[in-house]
Amino acid sequence: MSISSGDPLALLNGITSGQRRALARAISFCENSPDESRPLISALYRSKRLGRSKVVGITGSPGVGKSTLTGFLIRHLRTRGYSVGVILIDPSSPFTGGALLGDRIRMSESNTDTGVFIRSMGSRGHLGGLSLATQDTVSLLDAFGFDYILIETVGIGQAETEIVKTADLTVVVAVPGLGDEIQIIKAGVMEIGDIFVVNKADKDGAEKVITEINMMLDMAPGVPGKDLPRPPVLRCIANRDQGVSELLTAVDERWLQLDISDILLVRRRERIWQAVNESLHYSLMLNLRPYLSVPSRHSLVERIRLGESSPFEEAQGLLHQKFF
């Protein structure tokens, strides 16, 4: 039976009854039509099937070995009897990066395994913004019933930090020789990292990076009022599958610590609030679209440029025109 994208209930039923095609179609539907797909997402929230997957973010500069790690993490999860959904994001390279990474993993043994579902996403072409598309995909994979959801994102800048907020916990991957420890401080990833991995530990300088990250973590303030152990720093040689099983064990331990200390709940609440904010922003833009045509936008910008008005006043004016 084929399921049309326009029928949210049929799609939802397909997803909750384990139909992978319905899942794939629903993800594309949300990516391509952030507007029309809202009833589906709303039905998902009301299905009470959300919040059961462990959502793990994996971030780090290009080439540090994230895909290799992810590939072996999938294998270890499957060996332990868990199903896993994977989202690969490459904000810098919408057409090649994410898709290539996806292909690379898909080429491995995972492609015939029904306990694994892999989806690549580029940043452009997401009308509702990448973090909305990511959040929708996480919700769909969660409702489908995957035990784990891995979100792999390239880079450790602002955009990635935002996407990573979609995860319950985040693994930050660094390697020797890239100056990652400096980047980590600069990008403020210290706060988002729950586990630090120094990959390519077969290369010179790995111990130095481990020591430096440990020192930074020792100096970092803990979470006020919460009894949470300091994030661990692990060493891996991903391409030889060394340290990956230990990483998975560390993920489970950390997840439990976050759960017990209520930080998981705080993060999930924050995620919901972020979704409300994004929906609000999106709804506003949608409602205001008729007032934002190119000619009216041009005269608005010119008024501000010529000192006759200000961005705040124009925003207020638009809201008044539409709602009051």
Q: Contact residues for ligand GDP (CB under 6 A)?
A: 60, 62-68, 199-200, 202-203, 237-239
Q: In the bound complex, what is the minimum distance in angstroms from residue 192's beta carbon to ligand GDP?
A: 17
Q: In the bound complex, what is the minimum distance in angstroms from residue 289's beta carbon to ligand GDP?
A: 38
Q: How far apart are CA 113 and CA 71, in angstroms?
A: 13
CA 275 vs CA 21, 25, 269, 280: distances in Å: 26, 22, 10, 8
Comparing CB distances to ligand GDP, the nearer of 202 and 270 is: 202
Comparing CB distances to ligand GDP, the nearer of 175 and 263 is: 175
Comparing CB distances to ligand GDP, the nearer of 241 and 262 is: 241
The answer to whether 4 touches 10, Cβ cutoff 8 Å, is: yes
Q: In the bound complex, what is the minimum distance in angstroms from residue 176's beta carbon to ligand GDP?
A: 10
Q: In the bound complex, what is the minimum distance in angstroms from residue 150's beta carbon to ligand GDP?
A: 12
Contacts of residue 162, defined as CB under 8 A and 6 or more positions apart, other chains included, come to: 131
- Exposed/middle/buried for 22, CB within 10 Å: 0-12, 13-18, 19+? buried
Q: In the bound complex, what is the minimum distance in angstroms from residue 67's beta carbon to ligand GDP?
A: 3
Contacts of residue 90, defined as CB under 8 A and 6 or more positions apart, other chains included, come to: 96, 97, 98, 101, 120, 121, 122, 123, 153, 154
Q: In the bound complex, what is the minimum distance in angstroms from residue 167's beta carbon to ligand GDP?
A: 17
Comparing CB distances to ligand GDP, the nearer of 63 and 229 is: 63
CA 90 vs CA 48, 85, 104, 155, 263: distances in Å: 31, 17, 14, 8, 28
Q: In the bound complex, what is the minimum distance in angstroms from residue 177's beta carbon to ligand GDP?
A: 11
Comparing CB distances to ligand GDP, the nearer of 155 and 231 is: 155
Comparing CB distances to ligand GDP, the nearer of 47 and 92 is: 92
Q: Report the C-alpha dihedral over residues 227, 231, 232, 238, rounded to 10 degrees.
A: 140
Comparing CB distances to ligand GDP, the nearer of 66 and 119 is: 66
Single-letter amino acid code for the residue at 80:
R
Comparing CB distances to ligand GDP, the nearer of 36 and 202 is: 202
Q: In the bound complex, what is the minimum distance in angstroms from residue 16's beta carbon to ligand GDP?
A: 32
Q: In the bound complex, what is the minimum distance in angstroms from residue 102's beta carbon to ligand GDP?
A: 11
CA 284 vs CA 152, 247, 252, 279, 299: distances in Å: 30, 42, 40, 8, 20
Q: Is 185 helix (H, G, I), strand (E, B) or coil?
A: helix
Q: Is 122 helix (H, G, I), strand (E, B) or coil?
A: strand
**Taking the CB of residue 225, how many other CB atoms lie within 10 A of it?**
7
- Exposed/middle/buried for 98, CB within 10 Å: 0-12, 13-18, 19+? buried
> What is the largest distance, in Å, between two alpha-carbon atoms of the chain?
66
Comparing CB distances to ligand GDP, the nearer of 203 and 297 is: 203
